[in-house]
């Protein structure tokens, strides 16, 4: 896939690197030449110095043939305008903009742009961690019919198998387990350990049933 990343800062440089490592043709833009110094030495994408608000820069970066554009400057206004130009003028199918200010998110929505909001996401995750919530919502699929959770097995949760976590069929699936920083896809017969991060996709009923199972086995 041909992807343009706008803004080679903390987020843009990481996105560009990931996309490049996963086999995409990446072209990255920043108005400041020194910004590219942040790129990892094995990044071999195309580097374009220039202001993304200029169509000359966007064309030089290959926007006329791009499959996707990720816009990651630190300005909501720039991310919004460049997102609009990419979608409306150059008909790029997949445009994702970075959103900082929660007040701006409505504008992105009005213009039909997909956003990544580090502020909202970070605030929710921090609140969950501060409150020591064992069930963390990671992602909602579709209109929220199925959610993706990370569930941390409590200290008291000893000697239970993956199969013990399955409530009614069709309501929950165990996707992976992360133990001491390493992830694996578990078998139903695997034993879970306290502190395991279990990733599940579940309906509302499935996650409520899982809460009960975990509380009952405390």
- Which spans of this chain sit near ligand AMP (rule: CB under 6 A)? 6-12, 29-32, 35, 51-53, 72-75, 78
The answer to whether 180 touches 153, Cβ cutoff 8 Å, is: no
**β-bridge mates for residue 30, sequence order:** 49
Which one, of 107, 105, 138, 104, lies nearest residue 121 by Cα? 138
Choose between 12 and 186: whose C-beta lies nearer to ligand AMP.
12
Choose between 14 and 25: whose C-beta lies nearer to ligand AMP.
14
Nearest approach, Cβ of 47 to ligand AMP (angstroms)? Answer: 12
Nearest approach, Cβ of 41 to ligand AMP (angstroms)? Answer: 18
Nearest approach, Cβ of 83 to ligand AMP (angstroms)? Answer: 12
The answer to whether 186 touches 155, Cβ cutoff 8 Å, is: no
Choose between 77 and 158: whose C-beta lies nearer to ligand AMP.
77
The answer to whether 81 touches 14, Cβ cutoff 8 Å, is: no
Nearest approach, Cβ of 153 to ligand AMP (angstroms)? Answer: 35
**β-bridge mates for residue 29, sequence order:** 6, 48
86: DSSP letter? I
Which one, of 201, 192, 202, 208, lies nearest residue 153 by Cα? 192
Residue nearest to ligand AMP (CB): 9
Choose between 39 and 87: whose C-beta lies nearer to ligand AMP.
39
Go through the chain and tell me how many residues it has.
218
Q: Residue 146: how many CB atoms within 10 A of its CB?
A: 18
Choose between 51 and 128: whose C-beta lies nearer to ligand AMP.
51
Give the Cα separation of 67 and 92 in Å (integer).
6
Nearest approach, Cβ of 73 to ligand AMP (angstroms)? Answer: 4
């Amino acid at each position: 896939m041909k992807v343009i990343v706008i803004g080679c800062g903390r987020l843009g440089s990481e996105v560009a690197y990931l996309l490049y490592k996963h086999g995409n043709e990446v072209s990255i833009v920043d108005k400041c030449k020194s910004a590219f110094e942040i790129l990892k030495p094995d990044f071999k994408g195309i580097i374009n110095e220039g202001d993304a608000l200029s169509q000359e820069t966007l064309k030089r970066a290959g926007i006329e043939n791009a499959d996707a554009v990720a816009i990651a400057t630190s300005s909501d206004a720039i991310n919004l305008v460049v997102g609009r130009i990419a979608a409306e003028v150059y008909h790029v199918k997949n445009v994702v903009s970075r959103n900082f200010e929660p007040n701006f998110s409505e504008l992105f929505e009005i213009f039909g742009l997909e956003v990544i909001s580090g502020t909202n996401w970070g605030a929710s995750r921090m609140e969950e961690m501060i409150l020591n919530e064992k069930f963390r919502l990671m992602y909602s699929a579709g209109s929220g019919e199925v959610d993706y959770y990370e569930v941390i097995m409590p200290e008291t949760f000893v000697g239970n198998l993956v199969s013990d976590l399955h409530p009614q069929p069709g309501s929950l699936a165990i996707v992976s387990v992360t133990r001491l920083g390493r992830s694996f896809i578990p078998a139903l017969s695997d034993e879970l350990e306290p502190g395991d991060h279990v990733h599940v996709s579940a309906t509302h009923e499935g996650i409520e049933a899982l809460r009960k199972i975990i509380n009952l086995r405390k």
